[in-house]
Amino acid sequence: MRLAVVACLVLVGCSVQQQDQIARDAARSAITPVLIERFPGVPLEPALNCVIDNASAVQIRALALDSVTGPTESTVQIVTDIVSKPETIRCLAVEGLPALLVAGR
């Protein structure tokens, strides 16, 4: 997967949409361990979706690169910045809270 990210981003044959999707998928793999460690108990899939959906293109690219080397303090800082955005907090409340309530039953 990681090699595919680097290869596709370099190849001219990838469309912008393909590059974006590959970068988002790679970013998810860098975000996952941060969410698990820093936000235990938060439903992972809804939280991942909220973080990805509220990240800027620059943040997505940085996180995608971090998926190659593994999470760093920079990864943690980027994820924390995204989670702190009002839009992400709203998303977590709407998407994450129902999942948390269902899991608690």
The residues, any chain, with a CB within 8 Å of residue 102's CB and separated by 6 or more, are: none
Question: Which pLDDT does position 14 carry in this prediction?
Answer: 76
For 30-42, write each residue's pLDDT tens digit.
Answer: 999 999 999 888 8
Q: Between these two residues, 14 and 42, which has the higher pLDDT value?
A: 42
Q: What is residue 100's DSSP assignment?
A: H
N residues, the chain:
105
C-beta of residue 27 within 8 angstroms of C-beta of residue 58: no
For 52-87, write each residue's pLDDT tens digit.
Answer: 999 999 999 999 999 998 899 999 999 999 999 999
Band (pLDDT 50/70/90 cuts) for residue 95 is confident
Please state, in angstroms and rounded to a whole number, the distance separating the CA atoms of residues 105 and 27.
31
Neighbours of 61 (CB within 10 A): 17
Q: Between these two residues, 21 and 98, which has the higher pLDDT value?
A: 21
